[in-house]
Amino acid sequence: MAKANLGRRDFLKSAGIATLSLAAIGAGVGYLKKLHASDSKNLLRPPGARDEKDFIYACIKCGLCVQICPVGAVKLADIDHNLSYGTPFIDAREQACDFSCGALQCTETCPTSALNFYKFKDVGEAAIIEYVKEHPNAYQDPEFNPIQYQADKMHREVRMGIAKLNPSSCLAVQGKGFHGTPREQGFRGVYLSVNQGDKEACPVNDHHFDREICDLCVTECPIGDTAIVMKKTEENGAMHFRPEVLEGCTGCGVCEMVCPTSQASIVIVPKNQITEKGGEL
């Protein structure tokens, strides 16, 4: 009888421990999920990153994407980012992803497909095939650079985030121009400006601008007029200007990096904060 009671007591004890353990695991998982969601929300991930939750689980924090980026745009999150610690992100105001590497090198180098290169490779290859179909003599044309063409198409497919204007500080909205070099003395960011005739990424402050109405975010955008345009409207005989971000914006952050106001007047909202409709969560 005593033996039977002991068995029952042991069973109840084990059941109690098991229930408490399950509850603790459940609470732990819930907490981790919450931590992931809140913690990663503001991080701008490198090109080709999978959706945030998949990305977090796929990234092994190897740092290869950091090492390969020729402009040093990719950094690893530090301990302040809790569970995102060690995962890659881009601080566009400090150093944007200017696509000067050619074909998404960070994405290509990722060993786990946390940055999903194949999605973009297929797009690039399909674009080349399409182009050659339409232009059968393409390869005889000295102007045609198939690698560049493929890279351009791939860059356009990337959506790291989307640029968002702060009209209250934007110089163009205030009808103001900009003359000089965009960033503070000692700023170390670099980018390749097609508009300025660069052949490779150059320091931001090597570029000098003389604009009656500021439009640096528009002219320096590596994607061009499918991503951002300067909207001009006339009201009571006066012209008004406002940069308008379009569907083709990839969230590369060049506009945020070159914007000459003390706090950038255009900033990137990371992909994981954008709903399918394009609004912020």
Name the site residues for ligand SF4 (rule: CB under 6 A).
59-65, 88, 109-112, 114-115, 163, 165, 170-172, 214-217, 221, 223, 227-228, 243, 245, 249-255, 259, 261, 265-266, 268
Q: Which lies closer to ligand SF4 via its Cβ, residue 128 or residue 229?
A: 229
- In the bound complex, what is the minimum distance in angstroms from residue 102's beta carbon to ligand SF4? 17
The kind and range of the H/E element at 230 are strand 228-235
Q: How many contiguous H segments (helices) and E segments (strands) does the chain have?
A: 8, 10
State phi, psi for 240 to the nearest 5 degrees: -125, 145
Closest distance to ligand SF4 from the beta carbon of 274 (Å): 13
Q: Which is nearer to ligand SF4, 94 or 144 (CB)?
A: 94
Q: Is the dihedral of CA 212, 215, 220, 222 positive or negative?
A: negative
For the bound state, the minimum distance from the C-beta of residue 241 to ligand SF4, rounded and expressed in Å, comes to 8
Backbone angles phi, psi at 174, to 5 degrees: -85, 0
Q: What are phi and psi of 43, to 5 degrees?
A: -90, 125
Q: Are 182 and 265 in contact (CB under 8 A)?
A: no
- For the bound state, the minimum distance from the C-beta of residue 246 to ligand SF4, rounded and expressed in Å, comes to 8
Q: Which is nearer to ligand SF4, 141 or 200 (CB)?
A: 200
CB of 158 to ligand SF4, least distance (A): 9
CB closer to ligand SF4, 10 vs 225: 225
Query: Computed from CA positions of residues 80, 99, 152, 62, in that sequence, does the dihedral angle turn out positive or negative?
Result: negative
In terms of CB distance, is 204 or 245 closer to ligand SF4? 245
SS3 state at 29? helix
Nearer to ligand SF4, 128 or 169 (CB): 169
Nearest to 182 by CA among 134, 68, 191, 270: 191
| CB neighbour burial string for 191-218, b if at least 16 within 10 angstroms, e if fewer | bbbeeeebeebeebbebebebebbbbbb
CB of 135 to ligand SF4, least distance (A): 26
Which one, 28 or 167, has the nearer CB to ligand SF4?
Answer: 167
C-alpha–C-alpha distance, residues 144 and 129, integer Å: 14
| Contact criterion met (CB below 8 Å) for 55 and 49 | yes
Give yes or no for a contact between 93 and 256, defined as CB atoms under 8 angstroms apart: yes
Q: What's the closest the beta carbon of residue 79 comes to ligand SF4, in angstroms?
A: 16
**Residue that has been written with the tokens 């000295």 in this structure:** 142
Which residue, 88 or 124, is less far from ligand SF4 as judged by CB? 88
Give min distance, CB of 4 to ligand SF4, in A.
56
